[in-house]
Amino acid sequence: MHLDNERQSGSGVMDIKTEDSSPRRTFHELVMESIHVGIMAADYDGKLLAINKAAEEMWEYPRQEAMGASFLLALAEHDRSRMKKTFDYVIRTGRTVSATDIVFENRAGKILHINAYASPVSYSPDQGVGVAMWTEDITEERKLRLEVQRADKLAALGQLALGLSHEVRTPLGTIKALAGLIQININDSEQVKKYLKVLNNEVSRLDKLSRELLDFGGQRKLNMESININNLINKLLYLGKLNRPNSQVNIKENLQADLPEIYCDREDLLHALMNLVINAYDAVGDKGTIWVETEQQGSWIAIRIKDNGIGIQADCINKIFDPFYTTKENGTGLGLSIVHTMINDHGGHLEVVSQPGQGTIFTVKLPSEQGRAGIL
């Protein structure tokens, strides 16, 4: 028995031939054995018709034991029902299923992180359809990736510490100086009032910084619910106008009707989008135009906030999501870092395109509830 040369039938189901006469059989077997990806093929009952060396080693399932037995015996008992559901789905629908970075335990108790594919195959004219399974062990690759991520986090932590030190020392130095001046001028009530007002402003600045650090660190519980994104955008624009009551900025909306709902923390997402709208207001000044658009892109919902303001310089655009990076005189440099963190927490993406002197486009992409469905 061998896999034929990947030819597809009219229904899109791959053929497996069982004759042993072709000289190509040896070549196909050599190819299967040399591939460092686990390959198994099973009939419609789940009994193994083929297994290569990589699959034997990955699942610790010897070929002499595996052939003719259920492929499910390659897995730990508690993982078998999950894989059986996928197998049955492929048999029932004739569709290919794929998944990345999923976790299974093999029959010997080893935890594996794998990329997996399962496709229907026609292995003989009289017996019908079975399933070919392709599994790539990415356990070691994942460990290396996590080590790189830890190193990046440590480097980012050092940068964060430097920025935090600068942001905290400035108001603390002011508070210390004011405390000394108050002691010297304790009998001058008017002067003391002026000092206390400045002192209060500096304390408020520190309080704002601490709240933004909590948002940036993601130390918050998300209250997830299904929402209509267009309703949220309408609230966003209303609050944005309240925030800038005297602004002459022109706001234009283009919201696609009948969008699928998204699953998110309503207030968290509103906070993130409000940051982008405020940035757009700051970019266009007293006059200008801001466009807010929504549309469905496959399984994603895209939210675009565009402006025709000053734009972002090319040498700055790769730094704008870094903590404490700011070009604003009174900014903390955490706003866009917070937005980036919040969107990531919702399984989304944040993209930016900008031309100096022409404007900026921020695009938030979030998975729709329809796009969240999966099988494996």
- Write down the H helix ranges in 188-334: 189-217, 229-243, 266-284
> What residue spans of 185-265 are helical by DSSP H?
189-217, 229-243
Give all domains of the chain, ordered by start, each with its CATH number: 2-137 (3.30.450.20), 139-217 (1.10.287), 220-376 (3.30.565.10)
CB neighbour class for 286 (10 Å; exposed up to 12, middle 13-18, buried from 19): exposed
How does pLDDT run across 227-276, given as a tens digit for each residue? 999 999 999 998 888 778 778 899 999 999 999 999 999 988 998 898 89
Give the whole-angstrom CA distance, residue 201 versus residue 252: 36
Strands 97-105 and 128-137: unpaired
Strands 250-255, 14-17: pairing kind = unpaired
pLDDT in tens, 118-132: 999 876 556 567 899
pLDDT of residue 248: 87
Q: What is the pLDDT of residues 271-318, one digit of tens each?
A: 889 889 988 998 998 889 999 999 999 889 999 999 999 998 888 888
Q: Which of 64-68, 70-74, 150-154, 337-341 has the lowest mean pLDDT?
A: 150-154
Packing angle, helices 266-284 and 229-243, rounded to 10: 50
